[in-house]
């Protein structure tokens, strides 16, 4: 049984729904309340396997259940995705600082997601739509390998009617795909936004981030108006193991959301 010290205390949640998003990736709905802020993360554990870091991706206003999107890519996550409705999943958290939602009030928001980077942004979108009067223009650009890798495709269809603009972009797409074909930087280059009142939120593979930042810099967006969720390997989640460091910062304690101008000198160290 995983450590039950107060800092590592797990709660057992019943799985009430499991949906395959794509081969090897599943959306789990867990019965029970989890009070989390959009952008925070939890540790989900499997007895005799270990634990992994995942961002809750459901509406934070929903108190009867929460959702985790899990892709099998290691022993723990491959074990977790074998669980079925009726089984129990051990979860601790939430941890981290979450997206700076109040700093987005009365601003234009540019949401940029790469692949599973849409997962931590999904709760934020739910939150923003619920109190849309507090926000001005909301644009989502989400990149995937192919249109078969689209995450939350039903949500994207709904959001395209409710947000200012939704641009899914894939490297390879079918003839029926309604988004754009190419790299995620291409639609960003073509976007027109007010650099004085736009705040960009970025979440995706770390290899994507420098290219996105370069486009935003070329378009004149100041570094202090860019927030990034750094997806680094986390184990303890509370700053003890220090495996998730970016220079002197720990992703689990100081992040995972960082303002770019406060972290840029330490990225890659």
What percentage of the chain reaches a pLDDT higher than 70? 97
Answering whether pTM is above 0.85, one says yes
- Average pLDDT value over all residues in the chain: 91
The class level of CATH for 101-263 reads alpha beta
Distance of CA 146 to the CA centre of its chain: 19
For residue 247, name the pLDDT band (cuts at 50, 70, 90). confident
User: H/E/C letters for each residue in 219-253?
Assistant: CCCCHHHEEEECCCCCCCCCCCCCCCEECCEEHHH
- pLDDT reading at 97 higher than 50: yes
- The segment(s) of the chain belonging to CATH 3.40.50.80 are 101-263
- Please state which of the four CATH numbers 2.40.30.10, 2.60.40.10, 2.60.40.1080, 1.20.120.1770 is assigned to the domain occupying 6-95: 2.40.30.10
Residue-wise pLDDT for 197-233, tens only, equals 999 999 999 889 999 999 999 999 999 999 999 877 7
Rounded CA separation 60/71 (Å): 21
Residue-wise pLDDT for 128-160, tens only, equals 999 888 899 999 999 999 888 889 999 999 999
Mean pLDDT of the 163-178 span? 90
* 53, containing H or E segment: strand 50-54
């Amino acid at each position: 049984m995983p450590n039950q010290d107060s800092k590592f205390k797990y709660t057992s949640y019943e799985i009430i729904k499991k949906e395959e998003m794509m081969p090897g990736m599943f959306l789990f709905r867990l019965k029970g309340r989890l009070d989390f802020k959009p952008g925070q993360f939890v540790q989900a554990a499997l007895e005799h396997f270990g634990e992994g870091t995942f961002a809750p991706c459901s509406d934070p206003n929903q108190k009867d259940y929460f959702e985790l999107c899990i892709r099998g890519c290691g022993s723990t996550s491959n074990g977790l995705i074998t669980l079925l409705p009726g089984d129990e999943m051990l979860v601790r958290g939430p941890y981290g600082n979450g997206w700076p939602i109040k700093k987005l009030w009365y601003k234009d928001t540019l949401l940029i997601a790469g692949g599973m980077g849409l997962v931590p942004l999904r709760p934020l979108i739910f939150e923003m739509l619920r109190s849309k009067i507090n926000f001005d223009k909301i644009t989502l650009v989400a990149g995937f390998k192919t249109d078969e890798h689209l995450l939350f495709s039903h949500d994207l269809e709904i959001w395209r009617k409710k947000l200012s603009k939704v641009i899914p972009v894939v490297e390879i797409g079918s003839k029926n795909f309604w988004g754009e074909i190419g790299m995620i930087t291409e639609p960003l280059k073509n976007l027109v936004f007010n650099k004085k009142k736009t705040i960009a939120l970025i979440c995706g593979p770390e290899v994507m981030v420098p290219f996105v930042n370069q486009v935003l810099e070329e378009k004149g967006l100041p570094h202090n108006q860019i927030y990034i969720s750094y997806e680094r390997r986390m184990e303890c989640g509370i700053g003890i193991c220090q495996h998730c460091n970016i220079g002197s910062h720990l992703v689990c304690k100081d992040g995972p959301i960082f303002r770019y101008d406060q972290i840029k000198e330490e990225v890659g160290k």
